[in-house]
Amino acid sequence: MIDKMILAIFLPGLLVVFFSRVTFNQYLGLVLTVALIAASAYKGYTHTWLLIVIDAASLTIGFWLSNRMIKGLKLNK
Protein backbone atom coordinates (compact mmCIF):
# COMPACT_ATOMS: atom_id res chain seq x y z
CA MET A 1 0.00 0.00 0.00
CA ILE A 2 2.88 2.36 0.76
CA ASP A 3 4.37 1.83 -2.68
CA LYS A 4 1.06 2.72 -4.34
CA MET A 5 0.87 5.92 -2.29
CA ILE A 6 4.39 6.95 -3.26
CA LEU A 7 3.60 6.31 -6.92
CA ALA A 8 0.30 8.20 -6.59
CA ILE A 9 2.17 11.21 -5.21
CA PHE A 10 4.70 11.51 -8.02
CA LEU A 11 3.57 9.66 -11.16
CA PRO A 12 0.43 11.60 -12.22
CA GLY A 13 2.15 14.96 -11.85
CA LEU A 14 5.17 13.81 -13.81
CA LEU A 15 2.95 12.37 -16.53
CA VAL A 16 1.07 15.65 -16.90
CA VAL A 17 4.35 17.54 -17.27
CA PHE A 18 5.71 14.94 -19.70
CA PHE A 19 2.62 14.87 -21.92
CA SER A 20 2.40 18.67 -21.84
CA ARG A 21 6.01 18.92 -22.96
CA VAL A 22 5.50 16.40 -25.77
CA THR A 23 2.23 17.89 -27.08
CA PHE A 24 2.94 21.56 -26.18
CA ASN A 25 -0.59 21.75 -24.75
CA GLN A 26 -1.18 21.43 -21.01
CA TYR A 27 -4.88 20.60 -21.41
CA LEU A 28 -4.13 17.68 -23.70
CA GLY A 29 -1.45 16.50 -21.28
CA LEU A 30 -3.98 16.59 -18.45
CA VAL A 31 -6.60 14.71 -20.48
CA LEU A 32 -4.12 11.99 -21.48
CA THR A 33 -3.01 11.53 -17.88
CA VAL A 34 -6.58 11.40 -16.58
CA ALA A 35 -7.37 8.77 -19.23
CA LEU A 36 -4.43 6.64 -18.08
CA ILE A 37 -5.46 6.93 -14.43
CA ALA A 38 -9.08 6.13 -15.29
CA ALA A 39 -7.95 3.03 -17.17
CA SER A 40 -5.83 1.88 -14.22
CA ALA A 41 -8.74 2.50 -11.83
CA TYR A 42 -11.00 0.50 -14.12
CA LYS A 43 -8.52 -2.40 -14.07
CA GLY A 44 -8.58 -2.33 -10.26
CA TYR A 45 -5.22 -0.82 -9.35
CA THR A 46 -6.79 2.00 -7.31
CA HIS A 47 -8.43 0.45 -4.27
CA THR A 48 -9.12 3.26 -1.80
CA TRP A 49 -10.46 6.78 -1.86
CA LEU A 50 -7.19 7.98 -0.35
CA LEU A 51 -5.31 6.92 -3.49
CA ILE A 52 -7.85 8.73 -5.66
CA VAL A 53 -7.45 11.93 -3.62
CA ILE A 54 -3.65 11.69 -3.79
CA ASP A 55 -3.86 11.15 -7.57
CA ALA A 56 -6.09 14.21 -7.91
CA ALA A 57 -3.72 16.37 -5.85
CA SER A 58 -0.77 15.20 -7.92
CA LEU A 59 -2.68 15.95 -11.14
CA THR A 60 -3.40 19.46 -9.90
CA ILE A 61 0.24 20.13 -9.01
CA GLY A 62 1.40 18.65 -12.32
CA PHE A 63 -1.05 20.84 -14.22
CA TRP A 64 0.21 23.90 -12.36
CA LEU A 65 3.83 22.98 -13.17
CA SER A 66 3.05 22.33 -16.81
CA ASN A 67 1.22 25.65 -17.04
CA ARG A 68 4.31 27.44 -15.72
CA MET A 69 6.51 25.45 -18.11
CA ILE A 70 4.41 26.31 -21.18
CA LYS A 71 4.34 29.99 -20.20
CA GLY A 72 8.13 29.92 -19.84
CA LEU A 73 8.50 28.34 -23.26
CA LYS A 74 6.27 30.99 -24.84
CA LEU A 75 8.29 33.81 -23.24
CA ASN A 76 11.55 32.43 -24.68
CA LYS A 77 10.26 32.59 -28.26
Q: Where are the domains of the chain?
A: 2-75
**Chain segment 27-69, per-residue pLDDT in tens:** 999 999 999 999 988 888 888 889 989 999 999 999 999 999 8
In this prediction the pTM is 0.85
Instruction: Please report, for residues 74, 75, 76, 77, the alpha-carbon distance to residue 12 in angstroms, rounded to integers and kept in the order given.
Output: 24, 26, 27, 28
Q: What is the 3-state secondary structure (H, E, C) of 6-47?
A: HHHHHHHHHHHHHHHHHHCCHHHHHHHHHHHHHHHHHHCCCC
Q: How far apart are CA 70 and CA 75, in angstroms?
A: 9
Q: How far apart are CA 60 and CA 47, in angstroms?
A: 20
